[in-house]
């Protein structure tokens, strides 16, 4: 029963994210941006935790569900504006996933757990929240860092990478250092990259 519900959930999340008007080219094909992101999140989750339970799989796949509906430019182009946008998105994504979870028969407890994981309030103290953050950081480093780095001054990029690094667990940092990245992460992090 749980496998059927999980399969339904992943399909519904993919259907929602397939509507993303933003496109990304990858491996010679065009993909809806958030659909590709969700699949990359699942891929990294299963690399880190092959036995990940259904709620972790839902949280990973749906981390950016329908994100294009809340564009960054709705908020001021300041750090405070960025933080307000991110804070709003945590609830937005949780609400969208809760709607789908209720539709396929999940009750308040599992729905609340997915919301809690996506709220990011338990970083460093809640292992599942930390795992989803590790997955998001690894997806960013592997797939999005080169494009992101092109638009950043080196000192600003180094600061962003340091913040990302501090959010990650030690096992995730080790995995990051194993990646062949176009951006010299070790050099930008300096002595922090062990």
Over the stretch 33-66, which tens digit does the pLDDT of each residue have?
999 999 999 999 999 999 999 999 999 999 999 9
The two three-digit tokens of residue 170, written as one number: 């030690």
Name the one residue in this structure whose structure tokens are 């065009």: 30
Q: Residue 10 — pLDDT band, cuts 50, 70, 90?
A: very high
Contact 101, 111 (CB under 8 A): yes
Over the stretch 125-183, which tens digit does the pLDDT of each residue have?
999 999 999 999 999 999 998 888 888 887 888 888 888 999 999 999 999 988 887 66
Beta-carbon contacts of 22 under 8 Å, excluding residues fewer than 6 positions away, are 32, 33, 34, 68
Name the one residue in this structure whose structure tokens are 């496109």: 23
Over the stretch 109-129, which tens digit does the pLDDT of each residue have?
999 999 999 999 888 899 999
What's the pLDDT score for residue 149?
A: 81
Contact 147, 110 (CB under 8 A): no
Q: Give alpha helix (H) positions in the chain.
A: 2-17, 33-48, 54-61, 79-103, 108-119, 127-139, 145-150, 154-167, 170-178, 185-189
Over the stretch 16-40, which tens digit does the pLDDT of each residue have?
999 999 999 999 999 999 999 999 9
DSSP state of 19: T
């Amino acid at each position: 029963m749980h496998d059927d519900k999980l399969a339904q959930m992943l399909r519904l999340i993919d259907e929602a994210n397939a509507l993303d008007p933003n496109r990304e080219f990858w491996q010679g094909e065009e993909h809806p941006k958030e659909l590709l992101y969700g699949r990359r999140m699942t891929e990294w989750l299963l690399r880190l935790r092959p036995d990940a339970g259904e709620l972790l799989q839902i949280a990973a796949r749906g981390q950016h569900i329908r994100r294009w509906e809340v564009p960054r430019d709705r908020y001021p182009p300041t750090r405070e504006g960025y933080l307000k946008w991110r804070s709003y998105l945590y609830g937005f994504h949780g609400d969208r996933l809760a709607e789908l979870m209720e539709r396929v028969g999940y009750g308040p407890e599992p729905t609340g757990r997915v919301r809690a994981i996506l709220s990011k309030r338990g970083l460093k103290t809640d292992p599942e929240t930390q795992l989803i953050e590790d997955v998001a950081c690894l997806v960013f480093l592997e797939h999005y860092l080169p494009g992101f780095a092109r638009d950043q001054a080196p000192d600003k990029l180094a600061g962003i990478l340091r913040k990302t690094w501090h959010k990650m667990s030690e096992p995730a940092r080790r995995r990051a250092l194993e990646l062949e990245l176009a951006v010299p992460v070790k050099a930008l992090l300096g002595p922090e990259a062990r």
